Amino acid sequence: MTTYNGSQFIKEQIDSILKQLGTEDEVIITDDHSTDSTCQIIQEYQDKRIKFFKNPQRLGHVQNFSKSISLATGEYIFLSDQDDIWSESRVAKMLNLIKDAAPNTLVIGDFLEISSQGDPLSENKSLGETPAIRWIALSNIFLGRAKYFGCAYLFRSEFKKIILPIPAPIESHDIWIAMNACIHGKIVHCQEPTLYRRIHGNNLTPNRRRGLYKIVKSRLIYFWYLFGRLARPHV
């Protein structure tokens, strides 16, 4: 999990995560130099599973996620935003899909949208079936058609050697991770709600879809770095 001035919702999110974890699991939280009470709220937890790191200066949300992922030591890595709520069976549902999956598999869960007060905003719009061909999935991501959000991701630790470090010009860790999964592994959809995604005035991901020109221009930057990584040995 990454945090930045998330005091309003952070406790509800952490509580929803902790109750699903075993005694040997961990919650990596990297704070991006918050100026509100976020750090204080996190530090009030007396739970050895929480490993909290404070950035001495702001990294931005993408590089903060890169840092958080790099610090994870577990076999399976779930990504989390600071303001959502995990569904009660998220961990079990998603682990069931990845345990016997091929290397570098990315499991992506569905979600329900809620308001700042926790009220439902819309019916669940399913991700649908997992794309049978990786290039179809990749083209959907390229064109901005795929409803993929990092807060709904699960992957194995071995995938870190491919996605990290996230290049500085990359503007979205969500897209970077999903594109790498298409090229080096596969994407699997969990067609059940795995979290409640809170929509409020300070969401990092804009609710309005950008124009096609801006989307394509942005995606070309991703491909520049993606194909550069293909030539890099993974150790």
For 159-187, how does the pLDDT look when each residue is reduced to its tens digit (9 = 90+)?
Answer: 999 999 999 999 999 999 999 999 999 99
Per-residue pLDDT at 64: 98
Per-residue pLDDT at 235: 47
Per-residue pLDDT at 210: 63
| pLDDT exceeds 60 at position 206 | no
Proportion of the chain above pLDDT 70, given as a percent: 93
For 121-132, how does the pLDDT look when each residue is reduced to its tens digit (9 = 90+)?
Answer: 977 668 889 988
The pLDDT confidence band at residue 68, using thresholds 50, 70 and 90, is very high
Q: Is the preceding peptide bond at 165 cis, omega within 30 degrees of 0?
A: yes
Q: Which two tokens stand for residue 54?
A: 């404070």
Per-residue pLDDT at 234: 53
Give the best-scoring range by mean pLDDT among 126-135, 190-199, 215-224: 190-199
If one looks up domain 2-230 in CATH, what number appears? 3.90.550.10
| pLDDT exceeds 50 at position 156 | yes
| pLDDT exceeds 70 at position 209 | no
Residue type at 171 in one-letter notation: E
For 6-49, how does the pLDDT look when each residue is reduced to its tens digit (9 = 90+)?
Answer: 999 999 999 999 999 999 999 999 999 999 999 999 999 999 99
Per-residue pLDDT at 28: 98
| Burial class of residue 102 (count of CB atoms within 10 Å of its CB; 0-12, 13-18, 19+) | exposed
- What residues are paired with 109 via a beta bridge? 190
The pLDDT confidence band at residue 202, using thresholds 50, 70 and 90, is low
The pLDDT confidence band at residue 211, using thresholds 50, 70 and 90, is confident
| pLDDT exceeds 50 at position 89 | yes
Per-residue pLDDT at 173: 96
* 158-195: burial string, b at 16+ Cβ within 10 Å, e else: ebeebbeebbeebebbbbbbbbbbbbbbbbbbbbbbbb
Q: Which two tokens stand for residue 101?
A: 């999956």
